[in-house]
Homo-oligomer: A and B are copies of this chain.
Amino acid sequence: MRIIVENDYEALSQTVHRIILGQMYQDRRINMSLTGGETPTRTYELLTEIMSKHPKHFTNTHFYNFDEMASPDDSIHLTQDTLDRILYQPGNISKSNIHPLTAGNYLEIKKELFQNGGLDLMFIGLGSDNHFCANAPNYTNFKEEIYSVPVKTDPFLEEHFNQYLDEKDIPTEMVTMGAAMLMKTKTLLMAVTGKNKAKAVKQMLNMEISTSVPATVLTLHPNFILILDKDASSEISFQ
Task: Please give the residue numbers on chain A whose beta carbons come within 8 Å of chain B beta carbons, in ascending order.
Answer: 1-2, 4, 15, 17-23, 25-29, 57, 60, 114-118, 141-143, 179-180, 183-184, 187, 208-211, 217, 219-225, 227
Contacts and interface: CB of A to CB of B under 8 A. Distances in A.
A195 B118 CA distance: 36
A29 B221 contact: no
A142 B209 contact: yes
A89 to B, nearest CB: 22
A23 B25 contact: no
A115 B113 CA distance: 11
B21 A25 contact: no
Contact of A220 (B118, B183, B225): B183
Contacts of A224: 27
A183 B183 CA distance: 8
Contact of A26 (B25, B57, B118, B187): B187
18 contacts: A2-B25, A2-B27, A2-B60, A17-B18, A18-B21, A18-B22, A19-B25, A20-B22, A25-B227, A26-B225, A27-B224, A28-B114, A29-B114, A115-B116, A116-B116, A179-B220, A183-B220, A209-B211
